[in-house]
Amino acid sequence: MSEPVKLQSRLQAEFAEAPSRPAHGRPDGEVTRDASASAAPARESHAAIRAVIAGVGLLCAALVLITGMASGFYIAAAGLGLTGIAGAMFLFLSRRPPAGIETMHDRGWERSETSEILSAIHDVLGDIIVTRTLDGRILRANAVLGALTGVADVEGRTLEALGLSFRSQASAHRYDVDVQTASGMRIYSWHDVTVRDPASGELVVQSIARDVTEERRAEGEREKARQRAEAASAAKSRLLATVSHEIRTPLSGILGMSHLLGQTRLTAEQKNYLAGMRQSGHALVQLVDDLLDFSSIEAGRFQLRPSEEPVRPMLESVVEMLSPRAHEKGIEIGSFVSADVPGLLLYDAARLRQVLYNVVGNAVKFTHTGGVLLETMLDGDAIVIRVTDTGPGMRPDEQARIFEEFEQTGSAAQRSGGTGLGLAISARILSEAGGALTLESAPGRGSTFTIRMPVEARLRASRGTRKSVLRGSLVFLLAPAGPASAALVRTIGALGGACHLATSVEEAENVMRHLAARGETLTDIIVDNRLAGVFRRELADMAFLRESAARRIYLVNPEDRGSRAIGKGEGYDSWLIRPLRERSLVEVLRGRMKGVEVRDAINDNRPILKDPPPVAPDPRAAASSGIRILLAEDDPVNAMLVRSVLERAGHTVRHVPDYPALVSALGGATDAGPFAPELIVTDLGMPGGEGQEMIARIVRCDYGNARLPVMVLTADNRTGLAEELLSIGADAVLAKPADPARLLGEIARIARRARA
């Protein structure tokens, strides 16, 4: 090979590109920023070597041509010259950037183009785009910021210097920013993100903000509306509490005085009038409770207070309270309780009584023929009460709105007799308790309301004994068909006895023949006063009955209990009043109750005495007789009522009309004077002081008094008030109108504890 060819080969080998090698630990062709940076010096060194060789080749060629050597040497000089030219061309070509750098340049251009597109979009939307240093100086910003603030050149300034005011929000790096513009104050929702600037490599804060002025104004209006609604609700609650307090105060006097009047000697007619007055008073108390419950439910402060209570007496008291209203309309009302229902359950008895009074009262109101029947049973962990009436029924559209507030059905006269709140409140109460109030009805076929309230299953008592209470009793009942007779037959059967019902002479004769053929012997004969004449004329002389030793029981309405001549001389052993109490029925059928059963003005069963003696003091109060009580009450009627109840129970009472008089009387509490009180009974709302503060100071002995038990009587039944009074030191809290028996019982309990 000739020398020029060899030299050219060496130059080509020297200038040849080294094969590309992948970076350590990375796939072929993937070059990191660090690898590219480390390869840059090597590429610069190779380029310098190539430049030197090319220069040498060109210089040699020039010298040979100038000196003019032999022709052979001319050829070599020409080769070297060509080689130098080729090296120079190769050097020029080797100066092109690598493919990776070109790709990086392309990607940067794409990012810049995308950024410009996004910036244009934000400009159209009116968004603010700002890039700042970590110390708050503006590096870049779109034209929106300058247009809003009126500052053309914002770079190098801070946002605060431009007049922007930041308010922190719940999330980090988010703010509401007030921007004062030529058209007024605008509110922007501002977001900050810390990133690395691709141009400088420094950390910067990238921000974007959008105009939310209208949204914030709408939110402000909604918040103001919510606050106004809450204020109106609170005002309504205060109004209802005040009105209920003012109503309960005179109502306490009415009911209390009627109680005292009931303990005096009255004629039968006077007792009936008194019973009506007390019934109306209790109805008014129920209406006040409904209004307060409606308010507390709406405010979300409704609370249940379950306690261990008997079920049957509560059901019977509601039925008895509504029975005069039913009998006035010529309809019946009856109640049956399944033997599976235990004697005691854990539930809110007051609320269930309220629901029953509303539902049963509504059924009595709209029923004109037939009657109303209550059926009570246990279903799992809930007590279920079905209230069925024979009223006109309801159309589907009436059923759809019957549980809404202030909705009523029926005629105009019937709608005028109520507020339309009873069923709505009852449904809400049961819903709060985890139960339900449902309805089944059809026009012309009556209605059935089903009450379902959860109870505590762990407190259920043994039920087996109730099913054998009347075992061996065989009863014949002569009464008109209806809820009362149906309930009586089912009750006797549920308690282990047997009862044969006859509603006419023909049915009675068939029953007698059937029993005689089977050789069975009656233990009791119950005759409804409405069929007493038929029984006397056509059935009493039947051989089967004449030869029977069965007890004869006369069943009458409570309104007829004053007619002492009813049944007299007709051979009846005892009387019962319809609707029946289960306990009274058992006592009569077991032969343990003689004479006539009656109920006083509050529908309680007591035997009629020929010449009733003066009412004896409550036995629970007898143990606490002689207690000196300081009574603080500003209402003179209530003061007279409470004082009369306490003095009749054997207590000594001193009355003061307001808080200053109470404080003055307490000054002698430690003296050996004629009256050193042992107990304070005080109203909560009296002139001369704030009730809770005064009670707390009395309990702390701030007036130089000895520590005395304090009982509070109040017509304010706000949720949690009783707990607050007990927490500051009150020993007992009773709601007005206070039941006299409970009042005396609480006094006896406090006295026993104080003496112990």
Residues with Cβ within 8 Å of 503's Cβ and at least 6 positions away in sequence, in order, are: 478, 479, 480, 481, 485
Return the residue matching tokens 């300058």. 146
DSSP 160: G
CA angle 355, 356, 357 (to 5 degrees): 95
Q: Is the peptide bond before 737 cis (omega within 30 degrees of 0)?
A: yes
Return the residue matching tokens 């007698």. 512
Give the domain CATH number at 167: 3.30.450.20
The verdict on residue 230 lying in a domain is no
Query: Quick one: which of 529, 464, 467 has its CA closest to 498?
Result: 467
Q: How many CB atoms lie within 10 A of CB 252?
A: 24
Rounded to the nearest 5°, which phi and psi values hold at 718? Answer: -60, 145
* Domain end position, chosen among 158, 176, 211: 211
Return the exposure string of 212-238: e unless at least 16 CB atoms fall within 10 Å of the residue's CB, then b.
Answer: beeeeeeeeeeeeeeeeeeeeeeeebe
* Number of domains making up the chain: 5
Whole-number Å distance between alpha carbons of 575 and 607? 10
Residue 459 and residue 479 in one domain:
no
Whole-number Å distance between alpha carbons of 19 and 38? 17
Strand 474-478 relative to strand 447-454, pairing: unpaired
The verdict on residue 194 lying in a domain is yes
* 3-state SS class at 671: coil
Return the residue matching tokens 């009657």. 371
DSSP string, 196-242: E-TTT--EEEEEEEEE-HHHHHHHHHHHHHHHHHHHHHHHHHHHHHH
Residue 314 and residue 400 in one domain:
yes
Residue 555 and residue 694 in one domain:
no
DSSP string, 162-200: GT-EEEE-SSTTEEEEEEEETTEEEEEEEEEEEEE-TTT
Whole-number Å distance between alpha carbons of 593 and 597? 8
The verdict on residue 287 lying in a domain is no
Whole-number Å distance between alpha carbons of 679 and 755? 12
Residue 16 pLDDT:
52
Whole-number Å distance between alpha carbons of 422 and 403? 9
Burial of 449 (0-12, 13-18, 19+ CB in 10 A): buried
The verdict on residue 296 lying in a domain is no
For residue 207, list its beta bridge partners.
130, 192
Strands (E), 563-674: 574-577, 595-599, 605-607, 628-632, 652-656
* 3-state SS class at 435: coil
Residue 333 and residue 451 in one domain:
yes
Residue 308 pLDDT:
85
Residue 114 and residue 69 in one domain:
no
For residue 627, list its beta bridge partners.
none
Give the domain CATH number at 385: 3.30.565.10
Residue 575 and residue 473 in one domain:
yes
Residue 485 pLDDT:
92
Whole-number Å distance between alpha carbons of 666 and 631? 11
Check if the beta carbon of residue 270 is closer than 8 Å to that of residue 263: no
Whole-number Å distance between alpha carbons of 515 and 502? 13
Rounded to the nearest 5°, which phi and psi values hold at 497? Answer: -95, -175
Return the residue matching tokens 């007829």. 560
Long-range contacts of 509-512 (CB under 8 A, 24+ apart): 509/539, 509/542, 511/476, 512/476, 512/539, 512/542, 512/544, 512/545
Residue 630 and residue 572 in one domain:
no
Strands (E), 571-643: 574-577, 595-599, 605-607, 628-632
The verdict on residue 207 lying in a domain is yes
Whole-number Å distance between alpha carbons of 503 and 480? 5
Range of the domain at 677: 619-755
Tokens of 581: 């109490």
Residue 123 and residue 39 in one domain:
no
Q: Is the peptide bond before 579 cis (omega within 30 degrees of 0)?
A: yes
Residue 327 and residue 456 in one domain:
yes
Residue 490 pLDDT:
93
Give the domain CATH number at 601: 3.40.50.2300
Check if the beta carbon of residue 463 is closer than 8 Å to that of residue 338: no
The verdict on residue 232 lying in a domain is no
The verdict on residue 295 lying in a domain is no
* Domain end position, chosen among 211, 240, 258: 211
Residue 602 pLDDT:
36
Whole-number Å distance between alpha carbons of 195 and 4? 60
pLDDT digits (tens, 9 = 90+) for 676-727: 888 999 988 888 888 888 888 888 888 878 888 999 988 776 767 888 888 8
For residue 628, list its beta bridge partners.
652
Helix (H) or strand (E) holding 658: none
Task: Provide the CA 264 distance to its chain's centre, in angstroms.
Answer: 46
Alpha-carbon dihedral sign for residues 740, 741, 745, 748: positive
Tokens of 141: 């910003």
Sheet holding 605-607, edge to edge: 498-502, 474-478, 524-528, 551-556, 574-577, 595-599, 605-607
Strand 732-735 relative to strand 605-607, pairing: unpaired
Helix (H) or strand (E) holding 128: strand 128-132
Residue 449 and residue 474 in one domain:
no
Residue 184 and residue 203 in one domain:
yes
Residues with Cβ within 8 Å of 149's Cβ and at least 6 positions away in sequence, in order, are: 162, 163, 164, 179, 181
The verdict on residue 220 lying in a domain is no
* 3-state SS class at 388: strand
Residues of the chain with pLDDT under 50: 3-5, 7, 11, 15, 17-40, 42, 64, 69-73, 411-419, 459-462, 564-565, 595-624, 668-673
What CA–CA distances, in Å, run from 98 to 23, 43, 102, 104?
A: 15, 10, 7, 10
Whole-number Å distance between alpha carbons of 735 and 244? 12
Whole-number Å distance between alpha carbons of 449 and 387? 5
Tokens of 740: 């006299």
Residue 475 and residue 532 in one domain:
yes
* Domain end position, chosen among 178, 193, 211: 211
Length reported for the chain: 756
Residue 412 pLDDT:
47
Q: How many CB atoms lie within 10 A of CB 266?
A: 16
For residue 734, list its beta bridge partners.
713
Q: What's the one-letter identity of residue 734?
A: L
